[in-house]
Amino acid sequence: MHLNYVQTGDYIKMNKFSENPREVILETAKEIALAQGLYDINIRAVAKKCGISIGTVYNSFASKNDLLMAIIEDFWSNAFCDFDYCSCTDKSIYKKLDLLYQNLFVYLNRFIENWLEQLSLLKASEKNFGKQKENEVFIKIHRVIIRLLNEEESISPDTWTESFTKEKLAEFIFSNMLAMLRKREYDISFFMEALGRMLGNCRK
């Protein structure tokens, strides 16, 4: 659902707030996280930015922890929402992976701090929830990278051995992509070139 916002000073007036207050509150909390980071999320700040009472926020989210959990879940869902699209183009696996990385880079770079680092510093319960959502997404991505390796016609079947498997290479690819995202490296051409050489192909 697309919401129309009308901003007045520090307050945000939302059209049709009564239709889905939870979504409006979550979107507002995400705006605070986007501008200031996860650490500045609190019920009072969200209520003020929405132009509503604190009690109205509590009607949708029983605690700050519940709101934070919703933000974390939304974060991981949206961080990889274009993954299937990137993997279904008619481009080579190298261009598909590069497209995926660039989309992730742009998404993560919208935040003033690295959310991957912020998530690792949360309280135990919050960290466990974030880790669970992270793992769910990572498992999906690992499976899709394996599918891309299976579909890539330029990779010779002789490439694979008992120790050099598609499963292990998929894990290697994504772990390196995460490391580069944490370092905020925009240009991954060297990695893609190295991957092409590993697979006995030139990037196409």
CB-neighbour burial class of residue 147 (10 A; exposed 0-12, middle 13-18, buried 19+)? middle
CB 25 within 8 A of CB 36: no
Return the pLDDT at 5.
Answer: 43
Q: Which two tokens stand for residue 66?
A: 């519940």
61-78: buried (b, 16+ CB within 10 Å) or exposed (e) per residue? beebeebbbbbbbbbbee
Residue whose token pair is 């274009």: 82
Q: Which two tokens stand for residue 29?
A: 């909390």
Return the pLDDT at 201.
Answer: 63
CATH topology for the 73-198 domain: Tetracycline Repressor; domain 2 (1.10.357)
SS3 7: strand
**CA-CA distance, 77 to 156, in Å (whole number)?**
34
Return the pLDDT at 61.
Answer: 92
For the chain, the domains span 5-62, 73-198
pTM, full prediction? 0.67
Residue whose token pair is 């192909």: 201
CATH class of 5-62: mainly alpha
163-197: buried (b, 16+ CB within 10 Å) or exposed (e) per residue? eeebeebbeebbeebbebbeeeeeebeebbeebbe
Going residue by residue through the chain (204 aa), what tens digit of pLDDT does each one get?
A: 444 444 443 344 445 466 788 888 998 998 888 777 777 788 999 998 888 889 999 999 998 888 888 887 887 777 777 666 767 777 889 988 998 888 888 877 766 455 556 665 566 766 677 677 778 878 888 888 999 999 898 899 999 999 999 999 999 999 999 899 888 898 999 999 999 999 986 444
Give which of 113, 84, 100 is closest to 178, Cα–Cα: 100
Q: Which two tokens stand for residue 41?
A: 């999320």
